[in-house]
Structure 1
Amino acid sequence: MTMNDLIMHNLIQLISTHTGIQIRKQDYKDFCNKIYSRLKILKLNTPEQYYEVLLKVSQLQSVSYKENDSINEWKELVMLLTIGETYFFRDRGQINLIKNKILPELITKNRNNCHKNKDKKPCLKIWSAGCSSGEEPYSLAIIVKQLIPDLSDWNILILGTDINPESIEKAQEGIYDSWSFRQVEPQIQKQYFHQRKMRWEVDRQIRKLVKFRCMNLSQEAFPNQFDLHNIDIIVCRNVFIYFNSVAIATVLEKFYQTLIPGGYLIAGHTELHGQNLGQLQPIIFPGSVVYQRSENLQVASSSGSNSSASKLLLKSDSPQENTSIKQKSVLNLNSSKNVMQTPTQGRSLSQNPAPETAYQSVLKQAEIFFHSGEYARAIQAAKQVILLQPKHFDAYFLTAQAWANLGESEQAIQYCQQALQVDNLSEKAYYLLAHIAEEKGDKEQAKALFKKIIYLTPSSIGAYLEISSIYAKEGDIDRAKKMLNTALELLNNLSAEEYVESYHKITASELLLQVKAILSTFK
């Protein structure tokens, strides 16, 4: 269903003003479907009537609705617009950066400051802003417990907030399906979670470290309103993608005021590209760009200008190499043309290949860099493999994956397409392209790519589940159910304990239960 441009504009503006959430043009169809689903539930006839219901949140009088009905409807709409998909230890690159670099630095500094100032206990404060159902703050709590053996001698605050009250309720419950553990090592899952039939509950000691509350980042007056001062790390990933530029600038300024001098803001890859960073200092690590509040309290305001490349810092794995880089070097790092040239230029494909051991050792090193979250190094190593072996599929695909994890979708697409020139039947290359299309909001392209996978590999359970999810989001329940039922048939052909391809350590029986649970939600 569609609605006229005027009421569409009014609803989008009202939502943006009230929540900071920006409805992108590519999401208009999905947005309309969600609005009409609320009309049906509320038994309203027109989008204009629904607009009036939302508008009454700031009014005292109401004709057919009580005052708090409007407030409740805002909660329902926010839950509909911000359904988040997350899992434990998401984005290994950033998780490794937090665990191996940022947290150890802060722990040492805070412990030393405690001794210097003769405080009773050192303090560490971490805020997961936009925590969804809680996997991220619990992941951070596990890392903190691993890094601080004398935890009882510290004052620890790990806070998870989200605008969606339903997500916060689930986070406080602390019980998760196996799908949330698809990137978790078995020993970590066994140590910090307790199995409850087919679900897993967060260990009590970890739960005690984390507090949750609902918060509207755009509207609420933190840090003063919630006494959120001197936070060491703010993790706010996949949140700014919902915000318009005004809301982003507002939230960034509040984050700056919330951080302790020297504290870090960690956002999703490229989420803040081109945005006004205010007084936050961008710093490049091999696995991610992070943003730091300067140790100097007298830092001058940027006067609304976007941060320039000359302000960037590049940090390496070695502490002695953590030095500022001149502007020219930083610009070279940020230029995709300088980072990666077309690998086959200037080299004939018919040249004799280099000895096998020469490129295999380099590829192995590239894979080590990739799996440790050092994506920039992985790209450079894979580039050397491509120079030695211009038709090496794994080198192209590894490069594509690394660019994707850095948030550089166009570079990822380029190298994925080059991988497909080497092997045009590669299922995993089409998977990556499909996920990139979905991230960019191009659902039609994503569906076409998943259909291509099904054509190439009719037994691909993952492709059926992925395309079912897209159909469900579009409101096409019949097709979603059809895809899920096909996946069920394929799962029934596997042995119960057999691991499902494309799913990290999930057995056929476990995935079968999850698919049945999803089907049961469709009326």
Structure 2
Amino acid sequence: ATILPELIERRAAQRSLRIWSAGCATGEEAYSLAMLVDELAPRVDGWNILILGTDINHEAIQKAGKGSYGQWSFRALDTARKQRYFRERGGEWKIDTRLRAMVSFRQGDLLRDRYPDPDTEPHDMDLILCRNVFIYLAPQAVAQIATKFADTLADGGTLMTGHTELMGHPTGPLRARAYPGSVVFQKTTWAEHATVLAAPPPHWREPNAHESNAAAWRADPVAKDKRAFEQRVVPASLASTPPAAAAAPAPRTAAAPAAPPAEGLEALLAAAWREANRGARDAAEASCRMATAIAAFDPRPYYLLAQLALERGNTEETKTMLKKVIYLDASFIAAYLDLGALYERDGDAGRARRMHQNARHELKKMPPQTQVRLYGESTAGEILQYVERVLAAPAEQADAAASYSCGRTHG
């Protein structure tokens, strides 16, 4: 909802937009991107726009080119878009010809093909989507493809993956941004990358004797900068609890700890995600810390603190925060899967397996159609199927996965 408008604003001078759905399966994702671009049409009128879908599976690409789908493909599409962009024919729904013309499909192998390829479309991309692909691959294959994606992105371009798919893998000039539902990586120049790695300590400071904690937070230059940025949509996961009543800061005495700002828990969490999304990690962490002061037993700020620690490369702190999330909320599926991914990267197969078993146990308690926090439209049933596949796969299959198809269908 926010990434595409940001890209359009960034590319306004060039009047071009290049998007790649890598591992597009039968094309649903590529056409969804075309719908979003179409809805932003007044802002991109006359632009040079490429929406490319590739997949290793020839049959999937043929089906994508036809643009004809059964009812199951529409489970995550609202009725208004379905009626606007599709026509029913013979029990199936056919994509509108105008929208079909916006998308190009071709067969491609993410492991074996050359990327970037200046002779064909995949080069200087503004946005690459590759979700539910890396989960089938061995670490060396993941690293190889991630490097290709980084080289194929234009400076400032964005890579979107599944929630934990690149966790623990080196990402070079790709800087993580903490969006719920997907993990987003933005390409920096190597100079910018070095600056990020050498990030200064947090700007938030202790209040002096004459001001409140809230005033000290507002004095933070990073916090001030956020007023210059467009407000983003608050993630649904952050709105699952009614906002806490905002209490006025208590009078400060020499012996008393600083009172949290009168922002309210939900406002602080929303601010923390906005700050993390735009790369202001210090301000995001300060907001999370203040949120924990208001609600020490809410798992959500600790989960974002885990993501921020991972961005800094501190995997031990990440693990500590994720364990705290699970302690506070045993049904927080993302924390189990994140921990499992980290243990797997560390070579600790036993702990990784236990995390997946715990996730399976919790998912089985949920109705299959329940949407799982931080996983967008994915349901408990769909995530359970993925976890079952992970648990069923023998260890030797993981080593052989580098040669596995990069084009698995993913709904």
TM range (shorter): 0.5 to 0.7
Q: 1:372–1:308: structure 2 CA closer, same or farther, 3 Å change rule?
A: closer
1:400 to 303, 316, 325: 303
**What is the correspondence of 1:62-461 to structure 2 with a 5 Å cutoff?**
96=2, 98-106=3-11, 108-111=12-15, 123-149=16-42, 153-176=46-69, 187-193=80-86, 201-224=94-117, 226-228=119-121, 231-238=124-131, 239=133, 242=137, 245=140, 248=143, 252=147, 256=151, 262=155, 264-266=157-159, 268=161, 271=166, 275=170, 277=172, 281-282=173-174, 287=179, 288-292=184-188, 311-312=194-195, 327-329=198-200, 356-358=245-247, 361-369=263-271, 374=276, 380-391=286-297, 393=298, 396-400=299-303, 403=306, 414-422=320-328, 426=329, 428-429=331-332, 431-436=333-338, 442-443=352-353, 445-452=355-362, 454=364, 457=365
CA contact (8 A) 1:192 1:203 kept: yes
For the residues of structure 2 that align with 1:386 and 1:197, how far apart are their CA atoms? 55
Q: Secondary structure at the match of 1:110?
A: coil
CA contact (8 A) 2:176 2:186 kept: yes
Number of residue pairs matched?
Answer: 308
- 1:124 Cα shift? 3.2
For the residues of structure 1 that align with 2:86 and 2:113, how far apart are their CA atoms? 34
Superposed CA deviations along residues 401-426 of structure 1, whole A, max 9, x for unmatched, are 6756997787666445434544xxx5
CA contact (8 A) 2:177 2:185 kept: yes
Q: 1:363–1:170: structure 2 CA closer, same or farther, 3 Å change rule?
A: farther
CA contact (8 A) 1:400 1:411 kept: no
Q: 1:218–1:450: structure 2 CA closer, same or farther, 3 Å change rule?
A: closer
Unaligned runs of 5+ in 2: 204-243, 248-259, 345-351, 371-379, 394-411
Q: 1:378–1:171: structure 2 CA closer, same or farther, 3 Å change rule?
A: farther
Amino acid at match of 1:357: A
CA contact (8 A) 1:366 1:379 kept: no
For the residues of structure 1 that align with 2:111 and 2:47, how far apart are their CA atoms? 31
Q: 1:196–1:234: structure 2 CA closer, same or farther, 3 Å change rule?
A: same
For the residues of structure 2 that align with 1:411 and 1:138, how far apart are their CA atoms? 40
- 1:216 Cα shift? 1.7
Partner of 1:41: none
Q: Secondary structure at the match of 2:113?
A: coil
Q: 1:362–1:105: structure 2 CA closer, same or farther, 3 Å change rule?
A: same
For the residues of structure 1 that align with 2:94 and 2:305, how far apart are their CA atoms? 33
Q: 1:373–1:210: structure 2 CA closer, same or farther, 3 Å change rule?
A: farther
For the residues of structure 1 that align with 2:301 and 2:171, how far apart are their CA atoms? 32
For the residues of structure 1 that align with 2:288 and 2:381, how far apart are their CA atoms? 32
Q: 1:369–1:190: structure 2 CA closer, same or farther, 3 Å change rule?
A: farther
Q: Secondary structure at the match of 2:54?
A: strand
Partner of 2:215: none
For the residues of structure 2 that align with 1:371 and 1:186, how far apart are their CA atoms? 29
Higher mean alpha-carbon deviation, 438-447 vs 203-212, is at 438-447
Q: 1:198–1:417: structure 2 CA closer, same or farther, 3 Å change rule?
A: farther
CA contact (8 A) 2:68 2:92 kept: yes
For the residues of structure 2 that align with 1:210 and 1:160, how far apart are their CA atoms? 7
From the two aligned structures, give the one with the greater helix fraction: 1
Superposed CA deviations along residues 334-384 of structure 1, whole A, max 9, x for unmatched, are xxxxxxxxxxxxxxxxxxxxx942378432214534787955566543421
Q: 1:444–1:175: structure 2 CA closer, same or farther, 3 Å change rule?
A: farther
Q: 1:167–1:327: structure 2 CA closer, same or farther, 3 Å change rule?
A: same
Unaligned runs of 5+ in 1: 1-94, 112-122, 295-306, 314-325, 334-354, 477-523
Q: 1:311–1:248: structure 2 CA closer, same or farther, 3 Å change rule?
A: same
- 1:101 Cα shift? 1.7
CA contact (8 A) 2:34 2:51 kept: yes
Superposed CA deviations along residues 203-252 of structure 1, whole A, max 9, x for unmatched, are 43322211111112332245558523753424153556636558845873
Superposed CA deviations along residues 3-34 of structure 1, whole A, max 9, x for unmatched, are xxxxxxxxxxxxxxxxxxxxxxxxxxxxxxxx
For the residues of structure 2 that align with 1:200 and 1:402, how far apart are their CA atoms? 44
CA contact (8 A) 1:192 1:202 kept: yes
Q: Secondary structure at the match of 2:112?
A: coil
Which has the greater radius of gyration?
Answer: 1
CA contact (8 A) 2:26 2:61 kept: yes
Q: Secondary structure at the match of 1:128?
A: strand
- 1:141 Cα shift? 2.0
